[in-house]
Amino acid sequence: MVLLMTRIMPLAFIALLGHPASAAERRYTITDFDRIHVEGPFQVTLVTGKGVSALATGDTQALERVSIEVQNRTLKIRPNRSAWGGYPGKSTGAVKLAVTTHELRGATVIGSGSLSVDKARAMKFDAAISGSGRIGIANVEADMLTLGLLGAGKLIVAGKVKSLRATVTGAGELDGSQLTAEDAEIAADTSGAIGLGVKRAVKLTATGAGDVAIAGTPACTVDHRGAGSISCGK
């Protein structure tokens, strides 16, 4: 009997460890914002054209480690450094956040998080990644679009803008295959690929190993000092 109990106890303990953590939800009361800053391994989805709201989904202990607040009209989502609970080193799984706002003028991701935006309309719009994160914007309309990518992240942007300025450094990738700019200025020092469409004129400085493909029929001014291939215009 003692031998049987000795065998059952480890099996029960293993089963307990393998049981998935229950998902929980937390709603946050926030004020108006038109910019978003994501720092940490969070998966964020943002929808514009609605009243402000924020809903987080994940393990209860993981939710305790999330800080959400608005400062100077910027929604900041980042780790709560003062949170307690859980075992050291224990994985609590991913936290997913769904947020809404009236309009958006800028987005930043720092670290390995991801941000998906349905649409953005503004005179000036900027998006930046520092690290291995991801930003996807399904439709942007702006007079001036500024994109920055530092690290190994990926920036996916679609839409139409009058002027584009993009700086890509590191190993990141800029996918603007569904983006069309009237004019563009691009500085590329990356091993990742860059692709976008330009109608009128583009100024390109390429010093990295990544390939750059510019679709359309723009007047191309190219300073090519890197190992990657360059394709500009048809």
Question: Which domain does 232 fall in, by range?
Answer: 107-234
User: Looking at the structure, do residues 118 and 34 belong to the same domain, yes or no?
Assistant: no
Query: Averaged over 99-104, what is the pLDDT?
Result: 99
* Count: domains in the chain: 2
Mapped onto helix, strand or coil, the DSSP state of residue 6 is helix
Q: Please indicate, yes or no, if residue 213 is contained in any of the structural domains.
A: yes
164 and 60 in one domain? Answer: no
List pLDDT tens digits, range 60-101. 989 999 999 999 999 999 999 776 554 444 445 789 999 999
Question: In terms of domains, do 159 and 66 share one?
Answer: no
Q: What are 215-218's contacts with CB under 8 Å, separation 24+?
A: 215/177, 216/180, 218/183, 218/184
* Domain end call among 71, 104, 137: 104
Report the b/e string of 211-229 with b at 16+ CB within 10 A.
Answer: bbebbbebebeeeeebebe
- Which one is predicted more confidently, 3 or 51? 51
User: Is 120 in the same domain as 226?
Assistant: yes
> Is the per-residue pLDDT at 56 higher than 70?
yes
pLDDT at 157: 99
Residue 3 reports pLDDT greater than 80: no
Give the DSSP letter string of 179-207. Answer: EEEEEEEEEEEESS-EEEEEEEEEEEEE-
Q: How many helices (H) and strands (E) does the chain have?
A: 2, 17
pLDDT at 93: 72
Asked if residue 167 has pLDDT above 70, the reply is yes
The answer to whether 80 and 99 have CB atoms below 8 angstroms apart is no
Instruction: Report phi then psi at 12, rounded to 5.
Output: -65, -40
Q: What is the pLDDT of residue 82?
A: 77
Residues 36 and 126 both lie in one domain? no
Element (H, E) at 2: helix 2-18
Share of the chain above pLDDT 70, in %: 86
**What pLDDT, in 10s, does the model give residues 171-228?**
999 999 999 999 999 999 999 999 999 999 999 999 999 999 999 999 999 999 999 9
Containing H/E element for 64?
helix 60-64
Query: Residue 223: its pLDDT value, please?
Result: 97
Could you read off the pLDDT of 14-38 as tens digits, one per residue? 344 444 456 799 999 999 999 999 9
Look at residue 100 and tell me if it is in a domain.
yes
Residues 184 and 207 in one domain: yes
Do 74 and 124 lie in one domain? The reply is no
